A and B are shown apart, each in its own frame.
Chain A
Amino acid sequence: MAAGGESPVHQFEVFNLIPIKFGKVDLSFTNSSLWMVIAVAAIVLVMTLGANRRALIPGRLQSLGELGYDFIANLVRENVGSEGKKYFPFIFTLFIFILFCNMLGMIPYSFSVTGQIIVTLALALTVFIGVTIIGIAKNGIGFLRLFAPSGTPVFVLPLLIPIEIISYFVRPVSLSVRLFLNMMVGHTMLQVFAGFVILMGFAGIGPLIFIVVFIGFEFFVAVLQAYIFAILSCLYLHDALHPHH
């Protein structure tokens, strides 16, 4: 299919770097783990070096840290409300981790961490299960008012409540699959078009220009998908904290 004999999804192959096995449990350090460690190291570097100077008029790195902080703080305050302040570290961690993982995946010959369904599923399940537990802990049985929106006529409720329940349980699936597919499809498309460039010889300048433009679009999608994940988590949190809407 692709020039060179390699499948375009070969870039997502996970292999062991340091095999660590405890009997049946496989805890090997893979290339996926390596790039997660690199992402976390980059985040820690940017945030701590940015906060080092503590100047009143921020320099460039401090500006970066402050921008990220303010952006997510406003997001949480607007979408979760004033009691959402204690969930700010969680949303910030989610956003900045997904952002850095997406961005690092754009480096040529690197590995896309969020292009693995298990990684995005773990993140989405954390959000879903956490939000459900928070909702039940705060509202008790009143949490079930989430499935019957206020103001609906009574005769519509037997039809509406199953639909609401199903759409509630689809949330982790859609959250994880959205991020995973955006990353995987973007990178696979780049690989496929790169194969076209080689196959078409001199006329390969067309696909090459498309690849250049598409990589620009991919950077935009990387940031946007991190933002979408964060804002949807905030919205689900808002629903759980105030289920009477």
Chain B
Amino acid sequence: MDQQTALSLVQAAKYLGAGIATVGVAGAGAGIGILFGQFVNAAIRNPEAAKTQTGNLFVGMALSEATAIFALGIAMLVLFG
């Protein structure tokens, strides 16, 4: 195949790869949802202790979100690298 077709093929593969890499973000959505759900559940039972645990909540959210950002980062690397 000639140069132009090869380049278009690579570009199409890049778009495809970036789209597939974004599927990994679903895990973080589930994780953060579980985390906040458990927090609200426990906060309703024990509102005073909930105030001391909001720090842990945000740490957990950031760590879970990091996995989503890893997947998104791979997508960006594939698309623009």
State the A residues within 8 Å of B (CB).
1, 7-9, 174, 177-178, 181-182, 184-185, 188, 224-225, 227-228, 231
Contacts and interface: CB of A to CB of B under 8 A. Distances in A.
Q: Which 6 A-B pairs have CB atoms at the shortest separation, nearest pair first?
A: A181-B73, A178-B66, A228-B62, A181-B69, A9-B80, A185-B72
Nearest to B75: A185
B67 to A, nearest CB: 9
B76 interface: yes
Contacts of A224: 58, 61-62
B36 interface: no
Given A8-B80, A188-B76, A225 B70 contact: no
- Looking at chain B's contact residues, the main secondary structure is helix
Contacts of A9: 76, 80
Interface residues of B, number: 14
B30 interface: no
A28 B69 CA distance: 31
A178 B70 CA distance: 7
Interface string B53-67: 000001101110110
A185 B62 contact: no
Contacts, number: 39
A182 B69 contact: yes
A182 B63 CA distance: 11
Contacts of B61: 224
Contact of B72 (A1, A7, A181): A181
Contacts of A1: 79-80
A8 B76 CA distance: 10
Contacts of A188: 76, 80
Contact of B59 (A178, A182, A228): A228
Contacts of B59: 227-228, 231
Contact of A181 (B62, B63, B70, B80): B70
A182 to B, nearest CB: 5
Contact of B62 (A177, A184, A225): A225
Interface in B31-81: 58-59, 61-63, 65-66, 69-70, 72-73, 76, 79-80
29 contacts: A1-B79, A7-B80, A8-B80, A9-B76, A9-B80, A174-B66, A177-B73, A178-B69, A178-B70, A181-B66, A181-B70, A181-B72, A182-B65, A182-B66, A184-B73, A184-B76, A185-B72, A185-B76, A188-B76, A188-B80, A224-B58, A224-B61, A225-B62, A227-B58, A227-B59, A227-B62, A228-B59, A228-B63, A231-B59
